[in-house]
Amino acid sequence: MRTRDLSFSDYVVGPNPLVIPKYQRPYEWKQDRWTDLWRDVSSLYRRSEAKDPERRALNGPPHFMGTLIAQVGEFIGGGAGNQLLVVDGQQRLVSLFLLESARRDHAAYLAGSAVDPFPLARLIDGSDRLTPNDTDGPAFRAAMTGLFRDQVPAEHVPSGVASAYRFFRYQFWLGRTAIASFKVASPPRPPRRRGSAPTGTYEAWGEPARDNEAIDLPRVEMLLRVGLVFLQVALETSDEDAGVVFETINGKTTPMMQFDHLRNSIFIRMPHRREEFLSKYWADAERTLHAVSYRSLRQPPEEQFFYEYLISLGEEGAVEESGTKFNTKILHRLFMERVIRGIGYDVTDRSEESFERDFALPLAVSARLYALAVGFQSDATISGRHFQLRDDAAQLINEIMQMSGGPAVPLQLRYIKALFDGEISDEELNALLLSIQSYLVRLMMVGQPYSPLRARFRAVAGAVADNSLASLRAALAQYGWPTDDELRATAPTTQLTAAHSGPEVFPILRGLERQAAGGGAHSLPYGAGPDEYSIEHIFPQGNRINRAWEADCKRWGNMAARNRMNDVRHTLGNLTAVTNYNNQRNATRAFAEKKKLIVDSAPLRLHETITAKGKWTSQEITERSRTLVDLAIQRWPGPPTA
């Protein structure tokens, strides 16, 4: 088999016309893949702009577009060579041709001309440079011949080819903002009138960027010409069957996690320092990461860590791009973009030292601390240094994880790393963690749904300016942190255990006991063992009450009073903590007996507002709720006041 490095320009101006075999699937790329391609071009653009202002050549190596498998077909003659049947690579090629046609048309549009002022090549010149299959042929040929310059004809609007063209054209329309931002914008959907097909007009896009705000289109032409390179595998009739080659390249490999790609990217940039870095930092960090487990973990821990690490840095792209789905490929690109912005593209002795200090080492240390941030362990040894979280900080992290499942992990990781680096004290870490818990507690107590809690914490991570408590509190306040007045008005009637599970609600009871009892508070271990604690509903939570409570309710009032009890049975005032052993014994007891068993469970301060009562009606429950809400306000301070 013959292999060659070929640039995109070679496919556009070379002697071999490209043909997509009829049996190949139609064009299927969607916006996520177009976005990847646009980011590749944007990265090259920024690099060339910074290092090659005269645009005489692309500074640095080109971007590798992957392997393209082509089968040599019939000889054309007349100045052309053999046809190349594209076995693997058609989606990339079609997308690049559409990107180039969008650039060509936009240049002509801005110039008020029907001709591209900066042609890479004639995309159609006698015979087609690229012939797609029959499904995509009409729309693709229309794009290549310039019929999409002023608008996309209605008959082509529904096609994937036209959607790709519109996407790329819109980036050129936006101008330099589409190059500068990692977040890639989508074009407005094609307008349509009722009962008619959508139209491909560009009117909704407004005026295109011009002059200094416009993308340098000659620069893009140069980047496409020499900046994108394929490794072409050309198969002759005497070579192994194309299908076998395709299957070997694409179907017989062991899939790599994105974290594997990240590791490779890191060590490739450290040719002289990687052996020492591996043994001193990386091996132990990766081994620890692999062992991490917690209740809400949905991805391999290595992948989950990297996702949350970049968000912990407040990386704008990570905060924005992780909003719709878990995509570590995007995050890997973000990390490398940060590296290139910070120390440049080329690997030198100086850049290697900077890369280890500013990027690789913080990543490896954070990987080792990740187990602490998710409550998997409370200490770590990093390069011979033992690091231990205080018990109160470890307890807060476990409670936050118990209450929410992990959306705040990026912030927890950020602040634990700051403690490790000596940037904050143990007391400051506790105050930061308590503010995170306060946000969760207050949302629960006013009955606000947790969803979209993960998105809120991503936004907070992007909004904190530094590691100070003031910065965190200001950021949390932007995303619906309930105030004291909201708690007093709403929390007494919030059905806590109707909306949240026992593990989510129990840390509130533990925190209230700490606030009331001070330093000698009971630890209240939560769990299923007989001596561990769970939530006791003083007035039974079931839809039916037993005879003992039926008799109590009759003594205290009428049936209307009992119905009001049903309305408050899941509120804070009706909840306390008892051992599982006593919880089971309490289930059928009347109020007077239940009080005694509650006290026997443990002499908690939480119980004092129950045992002093001679009856237990909705009035007593609401009064206790108000008392506990005031205690909660002391324990978990809310947003800063104006």
The 10s digit of each residue's pLDDT in 195-252 is 666 788 999 999 999 999 999 999 998 898 889 999 998 887 666 665 566 566 555 5
β-pairing, 130-131 vs 18-19, is parallel
pLDDT level of residue 580 (50, 70, 90 thresholds):
confident
Looking at residues 123-130, what average pLDDT do you find?
Answer: 66
For residue 386, give both structure tokens. 């033992």
Element (H or E) spanning 225, and its range? helix 217-226
Looking at residues 559-569, what average pLDDT do you find?
Answer: 76
Find residue 380's DSSP bridge partners: 387
pLDDT level of residue 356 (50, 70, 90 thresholds):
very high
Provide the pLDDT for residue 331: 76
Residue 146 scores a pLDDT above 80: yes
Rounded CA-CA distance 281/369 in Å is 12
Residues with Cβ < 8 Å from 127, sequence gap 6 or more? Answer: 17, 76, 80
Backbone angles phi and psi of 228, in degrees to 5: -125, 120
Which of the two residues, 259 and 586, has the higher pLDDT score? 259
Residue 97 scores a pLDDT above 80: yes
Provide the pLDDT for residue 375: 96
Q: Which of 294, 628, 325 minimizes the C-alpha distance to 493?
A: 628
Q: Which of 247-261, 433-447, 457-471, 572-586 has the lowest mean pLDDT?
A: 247-261
- Mean per-residue pLDDT over the chain, rounded: 86
Instruction: Give the ranges where 344-452 is alpha helix by DSSP (H).
Output: 349-355, 361-373, 391-404, 409-420, 426-445
Provide the pLDDT for residue 122: 64
Residue 322 scores a pLDDT above 70: no
Residue 324 scores a pLDDT above 70: no
Q: Which of 315-319, 364-368, 578-582 has the lowest mean pLDDT?
A: 315-319
Provide the pLDDT for residue 402: 94
Provide the pLDDT for residue 73: 77
Percent of the chain surpassing pLDDT 90: 50
Provide the pLDDT for residue 320: 57
Positive or negative CA dihedral for 583, 589, 595, 596? negative
Residue 633 scores a pLDDT above 50: yes
Provide the pLDDT for residue 245: 60
Residue 171 scores a pLDDT above 60: yes
Rounded CA-CA distance 6/366 in Å is 41
Provide the pLDDT for residue 404: 93
Provide the pLDDT for residue 269: 87
Provide the pLDDT for residue 593: 86
Name residue, tokens 């403690």. Answer: 419
Residue 478 scores a pLDDT above 90: yes
Provide the pLDDT for residue 350: 84
The Cα angle at residue 251 between residues 25 and 243, in degrees rounded to 5: 55
What is the chain's length?
642
Looking at residues 478-488, what average pLDDT do you find?
Answer: 95
Provide the pLDDT for residue 430: 97
Residues with Cβ < 8 Å from 306, sequence gap 6 or more? Answer: 258, 259, 262, 328, 331, 332, 335
Which of the two residues, 329 and 95, has the higher pLDDT score? 95
Q: SS3 for 145?
A: coil
β-pairing, 385-388 vs 379-382, is antiparallel
Provide the pLDDT for residue 199: 81
Provide the pLDDT for residue 56: 40
Residue 585 scores a pLDDT above 80: no
Residue 437 scores a pLDDT above 60: yes
Residue-range domain boundaries for the chain: 2-251, 258-482, 495-635
For residue 160, give both structure tokens. 């994937």
Rounded CA-CA distance 47/59 in Å is 7
Name residue, tokens 């209605």. Answer: 154
Residue 69 scores a pLDDT above 70: yes
pLDDT tens track for 363-398: 999 999 999 999 999 999 999 999 999 999 999 999
Residue 153 scores a pLDDT above 80: yes
Residue 58 scores a pLDDT above 70: no
pLDDT level of residue 72 (50, 70, 90 thresholds):
confident
16-20, 298-302, 359-363 — most confident range: 359-363
Provide the pLDDT for residue 425: 98
Q: Which of 114-118, 161-165, 320-324, 433-437 has the lowest mean pLDDT?
A: 320-324
Provide the pLDDT for residue 507: 96
Residues with Cβ < 8 Å from 297, sequence gap 6 or more? Answer: 304, 374, 406
Element (H or E) spanning 381, and its range? strand 379-382
pLDDT level of residue 115 (50, 70, 90 thresholds):
confident
Percent of the chain surpassing pLDDT 70: 88
pLDDT level of residue 314 (50, 70, 90 thresholds):
confident
